[in-house]
A and B are shown apart, each in its own frame.
Chain A
């Protein structure tokens, strides 16, 4: 089994059965210079040796063609997070070409080499440096070719916009395209690349507007449900009432009597097909399934007790000192329990796939973050080689970690296989909630202590089912222990639903618990919560981001609760250190919490596209307010009671803070770190702390709904 270190879960453990033959690829594309690079090359960037990995998690091709176009082929995908813009910036700078001469092809399994998927903020921080190295390698190769072509030594040449020119004779020049014309050259990354210095950046570090915007504002951008094929029919699938249901019998006669309806049955899969989506909707309601259901006696109230009972698979994540000593040296001890319910990804685009057979190839346009693992799974299910399956990820209407499991792709492939007709399957919103891989419900137990000087003396942390990501604390605590009492997202049979990676998995729950506990101690010590943190932090990045945020926020010291409604949270995710402050207003009669403003300071190393990074941070803050304040999955056993947005409260316009300020540390000499996830981890903690500061009431459970806020206030 291959463990993915970024997700802590086995996403794909099959050996690759096919890789694109590089020479065939170059021939098919029409020649030129091809640089191939992969995850195995990663150590080369730092002067090390290739990894011995037969199937690197990511691969890409960079091609420079005779028409002067530069093409990047990558299995990474664009889902709104902006790599289609930022990858071009990195490449244009290293290769010294104009940004507009770059074409990026993403997520097409017949065009791009294998990639494990787009998640974990990997694209910029891991793929980015490889891409820069490939650009540098291509530039060096082309310069050598130009030196020969012009009979001028490399050190007397310069490049701009893909034109190599003699430094002392501007008439002597040749374009990259001319150099590669009629050639078929294939190169790999072999040595430590010489990368551009920040002072030489032309595009990196510049704010660029996203390049796919026009297609999106005109409705021309096509998502997988927008593919319409001749003779295509729409599918609806019969679903059981609960995850613990088993289909006993089914009566399809009423549906079958409808004009134009085909009922497809294969084992437990029962589906209806019709050329009109409305008719497929009606037909599926006429299919009557009989089920045997054995729901566990667990619901959204009792789930936490159930999880703690099942959390017996304990692993030590981190420890230091001696907890007994810590307990003895504490003058005050705080034993708290934090709860977090299941959270849905709820992208506005439901899981969708459109598929057809063309000759003997299954072609699937699908909303997925993992086109290649999807190809593997479909090929396996159909019993065909991988080259008989072609997955195309076009535009994706939001992923957030939810579209890496591909159930809908397997379903549509099976239906196409059974009927040999083109089919589109778009899950309904109810299916989206029911079959989503939810962020796991989780419990965190913390026992911590402080001494008379307000120093943290004890930290005993036990997380049930949120996983280890972000569970390690980073304050200077002499006696500490962090335990995870389940596998990463929990043993499947302990949960009522499928669980999976939700934007910065687990870290959201862990930061809510940790940062709440910190401020509980700060308040008990009578110390301003910023001061309390700064006293016990040694990491310069934390100190820096907190001070930056404080200055912009206008933080003035006060012990909590100050009545001002100010909160702080901080943490490090995917290498990026985040310090956040928020101001809230709590309506003491209704319990409604309005977040007025948020300041976030981030140290994310090299910022490739400051505009893109800022927008990702804003997105994290706005999306994260949903899980902090409103998103509450209701269920009874394996029956999902939350079915649509009328009862699942994601952030709306009115919840959005009037002011969001994003501060980026200028660290251009450092490698880039994650951007799509880090700030979202702070949202629970920053809001809980601000509510406490406003009201004196401490919330121990997310989401912090008006009812829970009123309840906590009543107990204060």
Chain B
């Protein structure tokens, strides 16, 4: 059973005719080739498939494509603007806040969701918001620093 589903993906309207019960994560990867959204646990426990839906971090492995009709979806591929990396991406690079890089897109989008809601989070607020995104290489300390740096940089950019 297919349906026509329309939503906004990385700033552009898209429509596709598919089974609405397909998992959003797989649709992003297979239909749109957006492979920055990673498959990790398939049940929403690891966060590597995190994308933003209307600025809220969501687990794309726990949503169907039918769930996102009419919504705005942002994946890691849509974060850089006009060829310029987003301050969070730059901060992750500056702080070496990654090793294997597999959890990184989910980490960055989860952090972006936090900073959109709370532009100047405390360390504890960062930890609480990021708690369910898992990294096995052990870069949490650097991710916290990167989010703090990004918070300052985003504030500075807003002021300009």
Contact = CB atoms under 8 A, between A and B. Distances in A.
A216 B75 contact: no
A645 B41 contact: yes
Contact of B101 (A80, A209, A350, A621): A80
A428 B23 CA distance: 15
Contact of A209 (B29, B37, B96, B136): B96
Contact of B140 (A215, A350, A656): A656
Contacts of B113: none
Contacts of B29: 226
Interface in A615-659: 615, 618-623, 644-646, 650-654, 656-657
A612 B21 CA distance: 44
A175 to B, nearest CB: 31
Contact of A218 (B80, B137, B143): B80
Contacts of B93: 209, 213-214, 217
Interface in B1-57: 19, 21-23, 26, 29-30, 33-43, 45-46, 48
Contacts of B92: 213, 217
Interface in A254-282: 276-278
Interface of B: 19, 21-23, 26, 29-30, 33-43, 45-46, 48, 75-77, 79-80, 85, 89, 92-94, 96, 98-105, 108, 126-128, 130-144
B80 to A, nearest CB: 6
A397 B26 contact: no
> Which of A209, A219, A221, A657 gathers most chain B CB within 10 Å?
A219
A645 B46 contact: yes
Interface stretch (A88-96, A120-128, A341-349): A341-349
Interface of A: 79-82, 209-210, 212-223, 225-226, 228, 276-278, 346-350, 395-400, 426, 428-429, 611, 615, 618-623, 644-646, 650-654, 656-657, 660
Contacts of A223: 35, 38, 102
B43 A646 contact: yes
B101 A221 contact: yes
Nearest to A643: B43
A213 B98 contact: yes
A646 B34 CA distance: 27
A80 to B, nearest CB: 3
Contact of A348 (B34, B48, B143): B48
Report, nearest first, the 10 A-B pairs whose CB atoms are least far apart.
Answer: A219-B36, A622-B138, A397-B102, A80-B100, A216-B101, A80-B99, A619-B138, A219-B76, A226-B35, A645-B45
B138 A398 contact: no
A276 B2 CA distance: 14
A652 B77 contact: no
B41 A618 contact: no
A228 B32 CA distance: 11
B93 to A, nearest CB: 4
B46 A653 contact: no
A277 B26 contact: yes
Given A225-B39, A278-B23, A397 B100 contact: yes
A504 to B, nearest CB: 14
Contacts of B96: 209-210, 213, 611, 615
Contact of B77 (A80, A219, A650, A654): A219
B46 A615 contact: no
B42 A428 contact: yes
A650 B134 contact: yes
B67 to A, nearest CB: 14
